[in-house]
Amino acid sequence: MDQQKSVKQRHTKNRHKDDQHGAPLVDGSSRHSLKKSKTSTKASSSWKQSVLQGLCLSVVFFFLASYIITDTWLWGYKGKYTNLRYWFPPKELVFTQKELSQYDGSDPTKNIYLAIKGEVFDVTAGRPYYSKGGGYGFFSGKDASRAYTTGCFQTHLTHDLRGLTAQQLADIDGWANFYRNHQKYFKVGTVILDPIDPASPIPEDCRQPVAPKPSS
C-alpha cells in the first residue's frame, strides 16, 4: 500500500509540475505526431515561397530579355494592351455629326476625332497625319466610312454604305479594328449619324471607266 501511495504521489507531483510549466500532457506518440506536423507545414511553406520566387524571377527575365533583344518590353508588341486607356477606359461620349466636326484637326488646342460606322476614335497622337493638310486629314471630324474602302477621298466622305460589296464592307470593318487595336489611338464614343434618304442616289464611283479604244 505504501509503495502504491508513493507512486501515485510522484505521478500527481509530476503532473502538477507539467501543469505549472504549461506543458501539454501528451505521450511520446503524440509528441512525435506534433513534431512531424510542424515539419510538414514548414516544408510546404518553404515550397510555396520557392515557387513564388521562381515566378517573380521568370517575369523579370521575360521583360529584361525582351528589352535587350527587341528594345521593347513586350517583344515588339505595340497593340492596344500597351495603352493605359484600354485598362482604364474613360466614359464614352456621344456626339452629333455637328459636334464631331469640331474635332477635325483645324484647332490645335482640341483633340482630333474620326468615326467609322458610328464609332468615334481619338487619333490625336497622329496629329501630323490627321490635322488639316495632313495625309489623312480628310477623315477627321466625320464618319467617312465609305471612303475607307473605295478610295474616293473627295466624293465618298460619307457614312452611306449602300451599294458596297460584302468584301468592301469587310474592308471597312478591318479599318475599324485597326483603330480599336492601335497602340496610341483609342475609342472615345459614338456618333449619332443622320439617316440616309433611300431615295437619294448612291454615291458614284470616282474611278471613271476607261473609254474603249476605237476600232480601226
pLDDT-wise least confident of 9-18, 53-62, 78-87, 102-111: 9-18
104 secondary structure, DSSP code: S
Chain position carrying cell 507531483: 13
Cβ–Cβ < 8 Å for 206, 156 = yes
* CA-based end-to-end distance of the chain: 146
Encode pLDDT of 117-126 as tens digits: 999 999 999 9
Q: Per-residue pLDDT for 216 more than 50?
A: no
Amino acid at residue number 21? H
Amino acid at residue number 144? A
β-partners of residue 143 are 115
Q: In what order do the strands lie in the sheet with 93-96?
A: 93-96, 186-192, 119-122, 113-116
- Residue 45's pLDDT is 76
Pairing outcome for strands 113-116 and 186-192? unpaired
pTM of the model: 0.61
Please state the domain extents for the chain.
42-77, 81-192
Based on its alpha-carbon atoms, the radius of gyration of the chain, rounded to whole angstroms, reads 37
Specify the CATH class of 81-192 in words.
alpha beta
Q: Per-residue pLDDT for 105 more than 60?
A: yes
**All 3 cell numbers of residue 128?**
501630323
The whole-angstrom separation of Cα 189 and Cα 186 is: 9
**All 3 cell numbers of residue 38?**
510542424
Q: Per-residue pLDDT for 173 more than 80?
A: yes
- Residue 211's pLDDT is 45
The whole-angstrom separation of Cα 114 and Cα 129 is: 12
Encode pLDDT of 192-214 as tens digits: 999 999 999 999 998 765 445 44
138-173 as b/e: b if 16+ CB within 10 A: bbbbbbbbbbbbbebeeebbbbbbeebeeeeeeebe
> Among the residues of the chain, which ranges form H helices?
2-21, 28-70, 84-87, 97-100, 127-130, 145-150, 166-180
With residue 201 as reference, give the H or E element that holds it: none
- Shortest CA distance to 103 belongs to which of 120, 80, 86? 120
